[in-house]
Amino acid sequence: MGIPKDILNSLNGDVEGLQTAALFSSDGLPLLINNPANADVESFSAKFAMVSKLVSKTVTSLNGGRTDEILVEQDKGWILLRAVGKADLNLIISVTPDATLGNLRMVAKRLVADIAAAV
């Protein structure tokens, strides 16, 4: 992979309330991490890989298309999961409630495009 190792660091200035960001394989193995909140990224990635597979299977069973984004809203903020192009990768970003959701989605979409172009 030709993905710059510091590509997730751009989130520090672009996304308010950043807690954790990770690029991980569909098997849940973290490849790149930006972890200001010191979260358990290995567990986080593995669990969201399972969520992604379950949501994709459910969407397929409903005759839906490819799942590009999963958004989880909770009382402590948002967790955004985006598929990376046709690569077998996912980007996950966790932010606090003071983050702007529209900005988060815009930045994540741009970052996914940059990662997909580098793969």
* DSSP codes joined into one string, 80-93: EEEE-TTSSEEEEE
Q: What is the pTM of this model?
A: 0.89
How many degrees, rounded to 5, is the angle at CA 100 between CA 96 and CA 102?
Answer: 130
Residue 82: the pLDDT is: 94
Whether residue 28 contacts residue 45, with contact meaning beta carbons closer than 8 Å, is answered with yes
Residue 2: the pLDDT is: 74
The CATH class that applies to domain 10-118 reads alpha beta
> Which token pair is 75?
């009382």
Whether the predicted pLDDT of 1 surpasses 70? no
Amino acid letter, residue 98: D
How far is the C-alpha of 41 from the C-alpha of 30, rounded, in Å? 7
* pLDDT tens digit sequence for 56-82: 899 999 998 888 899 999 999 999 999
If you count them, how many residues does the chain have? 119
Mean pLDDT over 91-97 rounds to 96
